[in-house]
Structure formats: structure tokens, C-alpha cells
């Protein structure tokens, strides 16, 4: 039972525990030899970042021996943006890319077991305040130690907030999310360990873990002592290796710790409350974080915690040994400043010390593609952008996802002069493509692959671009879609991760497909007919257009089988970056348009030729009686 609950606990475990070491975007401090990098925060008495330090201000010890700082950078994260229009912060792009910034925060929000439902509103407000503090370049995830619907790392605030709002999904009816759901409380420590282990190989980012709950079992003198001891050691070692700062939020609020003389059991209650508070302080104290017990002002407390990582340093040193044995290497960092608090990585495991998981994908898939989609972080040697559009079969019984990948990579002279791949012709490159759908536990539910011969066309700046179209057949539900492209000629691979919700088209009164955009002129599409017969357009993941482009939006409106078809309306609106309405069009959808398949196709020409350069939001809303369905698409006009 305990193992099954832990498996349910966190999508970070199954989905992200695969080795991501080879796939980190951005520099890894290589200068002829492997360099170990350490991200360091230095805080003053007011817990504000100390800026302006140099490499000479730091000393690094590895296993007690000094190491020279051979790489150094000071990171200043962008300030929190105040959007000119609410949609700029609230609506995430419908296109996922692997072009993530090199620096930023990685924030995990763990909602622990044992929070009474009466206190969950306070816990929820703090979690939402943490999401509200995310800056450009930050990514966050939501996890649960027992029940709930987790969310993998994303910048999509709507998905994060939706996960926070579903803490008791899977909880048996009548249960109270109590200690019975987690034997001895070890599920909390085990989940913390797995989250930290998943984030361990991400470099040059500050990592924060918010543990929201009223208790964290740290130690016990009874029968649980041995189990807690092993789980505690694992969690602390993982936090040290990953340089994860733990902040705990206690939704119970401030309670008096003084015993009451009028209560017979007051001494026992006092001791239990004192131990509970002490346990909550252990992990924050060990990692340089804080315990927060202020449910009244969660936004202020969250802002203070984020402010601590507004600026930090990344140091690199050459390890004393290149052996790959699994021994943990101790790191100690010192800074020649008085009255400061230093947070730094306390150790690392050498590359290759931990086994690489292969995941749940079937055999026969090239290892390069497995590796590209198997990490916490997407591979970025090949630039990718991906859009996902759920669709239904004509009988509405089955769902599918149309995938449009835009591939952009550096041109290489080998494509014209040194091409040797056996299946292609001169000037071609052989490309392997993989797309897989995963559930919240990391199990692969569907996959599709292609091997293509692509003739690159240089698109300026010695780069070339092409599109790949694919589809996955899926039942209604929520999925993470991971796609990877390997250029076997050039030996490069890239991957991209996105999310899609496939509606129950048959039972839901009104649903909409995803919005597919077609742009002319566009890049070459290989193969061009992969979605032929499904949609009347050739979709693209491009969302930046010139005013001379012709851009069409396509979507399909479905009416379920639960009741008779009814006429309705489709309203299209475009808002600019200041929230002003710059386009509106309403059209009537009559019953004859749906036909026997209960689906009506709609095509809309976007007026990009009449829009000023800038960012825009397209909203498509279908209304049928009291039922509505909405889709949003962000785009930019140059």
C-alpha cells in the first residue's frame, strides 16, 4: 500500500527520474575537461542577495581539498513583470518549445498529506501565491505526497493552478487525508527525495521546494524510527546533491506553544505541538530555507522567499578525480564576507554513477530518441516548437492529437559535401522522429515514429527549417506529449515537452478541437500528407507572422450525443498587448453544418495585414444555449 501511494504521489518520479545529464541546454562549463558547476546564493542580514562578488571571493573544497574556480558567472534574474493586459500573464502560449533560458528558478510545490480540508484554503492560497511569483524563465511543478493530480514542470500558470485546485482527487469517499494514508509518514520524505533526485542534474538554476503541510515526520522513537531514519537520510542527501532550498508553509498558522494549566492533557499536547513545529523546521534549516506560518499574508511571504534568489552565482571547478564510482563527493563553498548566509551545493555524484533508466517505451526505438525524451529537461541541439490539437473520430468514440513540429537547426556543410547516409540522396539528411504520450505516472500510452529524408533549404543565418506532422490516437484524458528529432547525418538531437487535454467528445454537450494555424508562405512540410483527410489545412507551430503572410485558423466544433443538436454562435476576438479589442467577428452555426458526425468545421482568416507589430490574443468561443467552449491562441505580428 505504501509503495502504491508513493507511486501515485508525484509525476516528477516516473516522468522525470530518467537521467537528464546529457540534455541540459546552455553551457555546462566545458573547457577541454569536465567541470563541476555549483550555484551559490549569498544573502545579507536581511536575506537579500549580495551582488558584485568575484571569483576571488569564493573558496571551494572538494572532499576537504581546495579546488580552483575555473569558471564564474553572476546571474541576475529579470524582475517580476506587471503585464499591460491580464491575458499576457494568464494565457500560456499554445506552442511548446525547447528554447528555455539558461538561468532561472526551478520551483516544486509539494502539497503534503494530512492537511485538514478546513485548512486547505489557506494552503491553497500560499501555493497560488508561489505560482503568482514566477518570473520569465522560471518553471514550476505541483506534486502530492498521497492523493491529488500532479503537474510536471511548466510555465503554464493555468495548469499549475488547476493542479493546486485538485488536492483530494483519488481520496476515498469519507476519508480525511489523514495519517492512515501514509504509513509512519515516510511518504512525505520519500516524495521529497524523489523530487530532489529528479532536479539533481539541472545546473545553473536555483531550485526551490515549497512543502505545504502541517507535519513532516522526521524521527520517531517507536516502531517507525528505522523507516523514518532511512527515508530522512535519502531526502537530505538528495537535497544536498541537488542544492534544493526547502521552504515549509504551515497552514495551521501561529499557535501558542505554552501549556494551559486548565487542560488536563495540556502537557502532552504541548509536547506534541513542539515536536511538530520542530520537525517542520528541520529541512528548511538544513537547506537554508525558512518555515512560514502566516496564512493571512501568503503573497507577502512568497514574495520574500522568491526575492532571495533574484541574484546568484555559478562557480565551476575541475574535479580532483575522473573516476565514475558512485561515491558521493563532498563540496564546501566559502565566501570572504562577514555576516552573510551562504547557500550552495554540498556535493555531487560523478557522471555515470547512477544508472540510466530506459522508461516504458517499447523496444526498437533509437537510443538517441529515448535519451532525448527521457530527461527532466528537453534536449536542445535541434530547435523544436510543437503545437498539439485534440480532435475526434467521426463517430466521436475516440480522440486523437494532431502534432505539428517546427524543426530549426544550424546548417552544416556536410549536408552538401560530406553526406554519406545510405538512404538519402545528395544534399539530404536522414531524420528520425518520435512522439509519445505519457500519463501522470510516466507510463507511455501511445507513440508514433517516422524516418524522413529532408532536403534542407537555408533560411538565413546558416539555419534551415522544416515541419513534421504526426498524430497519436488517445482516449479522453490529460497527457504529456514528448517529441524528439534526431538528425542522424549531423549527429544532433532535440526534444520538446507539451501538455494536452483530450475531451470526451461523445458525452460533453459542446467541445472544440485545438486551433490549427496555417501560414502562407511557410516552411516545407515532411511528409505533407500525414494529416490529410483529418483536417483541411497544413498546420504550423509558427506563431510569429509578417503582415504580408496569409494566416488561417481552423477549428472543429463538436456537439455530443447526450442531447439533440442545437444551433449556436462562434465569436472570434483579438486583443492587443494593452487589452484593447482590435477585431471581433460573430457567425451563426446552424444544425446543417454539423451533419451526422456532430462536427462543424470553421475557418477564419486572421487580419494580420491590418494589425500593428506586437503581441495579440485570439479567442474563439462557441456558444450553444447555456453551453460554451473556448480556445485561446497567442501570436505576434512583426
Q: What percentage of the chain carries pLDDT values higher than 90?
A: 49
Residues 6 or more apart from 204 whose CB is under 8 A from it?
26, 27, 37, 39, 75, 102, 103, 314
Residue 484 has what pLDDT?
94
Q: Is residue 97 part of a domain?
A: no
Q: Looking at 177-186, 445-454, 567-576, 609-618, which range is the least confident one? A: 177-186
CA dist 15 and 22 (Å) reads: 17
Q: Averaged over 103-107, what is the pLDDT?
A: 91
The number of angstroms, rounded, from the C-alpha of 362 to the middle of its chain's C-alpha atoms is: 24
DSSP 593: G
- Tell whether the model's pLDDT for residue 154 goes beyond 60: yes
Q: Is residue 341 part of a domain?
A: yes
Residue ranges of E strands in 560-613:
568-576, 581-589, 599-606
- Tell whether the model's pLDDT for residue 11 goes beyond 70: no
Q: Is residue 121 part of a domain?
A: yes
> Is there a contact between 17 and 197 (Cβ–Cβ < 8 Å)?
yes
Q: Is residue 360 part of a domain?
A: no
- The verdict on 308 and 377 lying in the same domain is no
CA dist 273 and 268 (Å) reads: 9
Q: Which one, of 473, 522, 483, 479, lies nearest residue 500 by Cα?
A: 479
The length of the chain is 638
Q: Is residue 378 part of a domain?
A: yes
Give the domain CATH number at 66: 3.40.50.410
Scan for cell 532571495, then name that residue. 308
> H or E segment at 24?
none
Residues 6 or more apart from 246 whose CB is under 8 A from it?
192, 208, 209, 211, 239, 283, 284, 286, 287, 289
pLDDT-derived band at 185 (thresholds 50, 70, 90) equals confident
- The verdict on 397 and 284 lying in the same domain is no
Residue 62 has what pLDDT?
94
Q: Is residue 87 part of a domain?
A: no
> Is there a contact between 232 and 218 (Cβ–Cβ < 8 Å)?
yes
- Tell whether the model's pLDDT for residue 380 goes beyond 50: yes
- The verdict on 311 and 441 lying in the same domain is no
Query: Of the spans 195-209, 464-478, 543-557, which averages the highest pLDDT?
Result: 543-557
The b-or-e profile of 308-345 (16+ CB within 10 A means b, else e) is bbbbbbbbbbbbeeeeeeeeebebbbebeeeeeebbbb
Cis-peptide, bond into residue 521, ω within 30° of zero: yes
Higher pLDDT, 501 or 564: 501
Four-point Cα dihedral 415, 418, 419, 421, nearest 10? -140
> Which tens digits make up the pLDDT trace of 20-32?
333 333 333 443 3
Residue 413 has what pLDDT?
62
Triad 273, 249, 77: Cα angle to 5°: 155
DSSP class per residue in 409-465: EE--THHHHS---TTS-TT-EEEEEEEEEE-TT--EEEEEEEEEEE---B-STTEEE
> What's the structural domain count of the chain?
2
- The verdict on 453 and 326 lying in the same domain is no
Residue 63 has what pLDDT?
93
Please count the CA atoms within 13 angstroms of the CA of 195 that sit on its side-chain side. Answer: 34
Name the domain boundary from 298, 314, 348.
348
> Is there a contact between 425 and 434 (Cβ–Cβ < 8 Å)?
no
Residue 33 has what pLDDT?
44
Q: Is residue 86 part of a domain?
A: no
Residue 387 has what pLDDT?
96
- The verdict on 337 and 386 lying in the same domain is no
Scan for cell 502562407, then name that residue. 520
Q: Is residue 517 part of a domain?
A: yes
pLDDT-derived band at 267 (thresholds 50, 70, 90) equals low
CA dist 81 and 83 (Å) reads: 6
pTM for this prediction: 0.81
Cell numbers linked to 216? 513532516
Residue 254 has what pLDDT?
60
Domain coverage including residue 618 = 367-637
Residue 31 has what pLDDT?
35
- Looking only at the bridges linking them, the beta strands covering 550-559 and 516-520 are antiparallel
Q: Averaged over 195-207, what is the pLDDT?
A: 87
> H or E segment at 9?
helix 2-9
Amino acid at each position: 500500500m505504501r509503495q502504491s501511494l508513493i507511486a501515485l504521489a508525484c509525476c516528477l518520479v516516473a516522468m522525470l527520474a530518467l537521467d537528464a545529464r546529457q540534455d541540459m541546454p546552455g553551457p555546462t562549463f566545458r573547457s577541454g575537461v569536465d567541470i563541476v558547476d555549483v550555484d551559490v546564493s549569498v544573502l545579507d542580514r536581511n536575506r537579500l542577495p549580495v551582488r558584485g562578488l568575484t571569483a576571488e571571493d569564493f573558496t571551494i573544497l572538494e572532499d576537504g581539498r581546495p579546488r580552483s574556480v575555473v569558471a564564474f558567472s553572476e546571474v541576475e534574474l529579470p524582475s517580476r513583470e506587471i503585464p499591460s493586459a491580464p491575458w499576457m500573464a494568464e494565457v500560456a502560449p499554445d506552442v511548446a518549445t525547447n528554447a528555455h533560458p539558461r538561468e532561472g528558478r526551478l520551483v516544486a510545490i509539494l502539497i503534503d498529506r494530512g492537511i485538514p480540508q478546513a485548512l486547505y484554503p489557506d494552503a491553497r492560497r500560499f501555493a497560488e501565491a508561489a505560482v503568482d511569483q514566477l518570473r520569465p524563465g522560471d518553471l514550476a511543478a505541483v506534486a502530492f505526497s498521497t492523493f491529488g493530480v500532479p503537474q510536471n514542470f511548466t510555465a503554464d500558470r493555468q495548469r499549475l493552478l488547476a493542479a493546486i485546485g485538485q488536492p483530494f482527487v483519488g481520496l476515498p469517499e469519507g476519508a480525511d487525508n489523514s495519517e492512515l494514508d501514509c504509513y509512519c509518514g515516510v511518504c512525505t520524505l520519500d516524495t521529497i527525495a524523489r523530487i530532489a533526485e529528479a532536479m539533481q542534474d539541472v545546473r545553473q538554476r536555483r531550485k526551490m521546494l515549497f512543502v505545504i503541510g502541517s507535519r513532516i515526520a522526521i524521527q520517531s522513537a517507536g516502531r517507525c524510527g528505522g523507516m523514518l531514519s532511512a527515508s530522512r537520510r535519502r531526502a537530505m542527501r538528495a537535497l544536498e546533491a541537488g542544492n534544493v532550498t526547502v521552504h515549509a508553509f504551515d497552514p495551521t498558522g501561529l499557535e501558542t506553544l505554552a501549556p494551559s494549566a486548565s487542560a488536563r492533557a495540556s502537557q502532552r499536547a504541548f509536547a506534541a505541538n513542539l515536536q511538530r513545529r520542530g520537525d517542520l523546521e528541520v529541512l528548511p534549516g538544513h537547506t537554508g530555507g525558512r518555515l512560514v506560518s502566516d496564512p493571512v499574508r501568503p503573497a507577502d511571504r512568497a514574495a520574500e522567499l522568491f526575492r532571495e534568489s533574484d541574484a546568484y552565482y555559478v562557480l565551476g571547478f575541475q574535479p580532483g578525480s575522473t573516476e565514475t564510482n558512485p561515491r558521493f563527493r563532498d563540496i564546501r563553498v566559502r565566501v570572504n564576507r562577514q555576516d552573510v548566509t551562504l547557500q550552495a551545493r554540498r556535493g555531487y555524484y560523478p557522471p555515470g554513477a547512477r544508472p540510466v533508466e530506459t522508461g516504458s517505451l517499447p523496444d526498437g526505438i533509437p537510443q538517441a530518441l529515448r535519451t532525448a525524451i527521457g530527461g527532466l529537461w528537453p534536449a536542445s541541439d535541434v530547435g523544436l516548437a510543437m503545437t498539439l490539437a485534440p480532435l475526434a473520430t467521426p463517430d466521436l468514440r475516440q480522440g486523437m492529437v494532431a502534432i505539428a513540429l517546427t524543426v530549426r537547426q544550424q546548417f552544416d556543410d556536410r549536408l552538401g559535401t560530406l553526406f554519406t547516409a545510405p538512404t538519402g540522396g545528395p544534399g539530404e539528411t536522414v531524420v528520425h522522429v518520435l512522439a509519445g504520450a505519457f500519463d501522470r505516472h510516466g507510463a507511455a500510452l501511445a507513440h508514433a515514429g517516422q524516418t524522413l529524408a529532408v532536403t534542407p533549404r537555408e533560411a538565413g543565418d546558416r539555419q534551415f527549417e522544416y515541419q513534421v506532422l504526426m498524430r497519436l490516437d488517445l482516449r479522453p484524458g490529460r497527457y504529456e506529449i514528448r517529441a524528439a528529432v534526431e538528425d542522424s547525418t549531423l549527429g544532433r538531437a532535440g526534444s520538446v515537452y507539451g501538455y494536452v487535454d483530450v475531451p470526451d467528445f461523445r458525452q460533453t454537450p459542446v467541445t472544440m478541437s485545438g486551433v490549427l494555424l496555417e501560414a502562407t508562405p511557410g516552411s516545407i512540410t515532411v511528409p505533407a500528407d500525414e494529416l490529410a483527410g483529418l483536417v483541411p489545412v497544413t498546420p504550423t507551430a509558427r506563431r510569429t507572422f509578417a503582415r504580408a503572410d496569409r494566416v488561417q485558423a481552423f477549428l472543429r466544433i463538436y456537439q455530443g450525443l447526450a442531447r439533440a443538436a442545437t444551433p449556436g454562435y462562434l465569436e472570434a476576438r483579438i486583443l492587443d498587448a494593452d487589452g484593447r479589442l482590435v477585431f471581433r467577428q460573430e457567425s451563426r452555426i446552424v444544425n446543417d453544418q454539423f451533419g451526422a458526425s456532430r462536427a462543424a468545421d470553421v475557418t477564419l482568416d486572421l487580419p494580420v495585414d491590418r494589425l500593428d507589430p506586437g503581441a495579440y490574443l485570439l479567442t474563439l468561443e462557441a456558444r450553444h444555449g447555456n453551453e460554451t467552449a473556448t480556445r485561446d491562441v497567442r501570436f505576434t505580428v512583426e
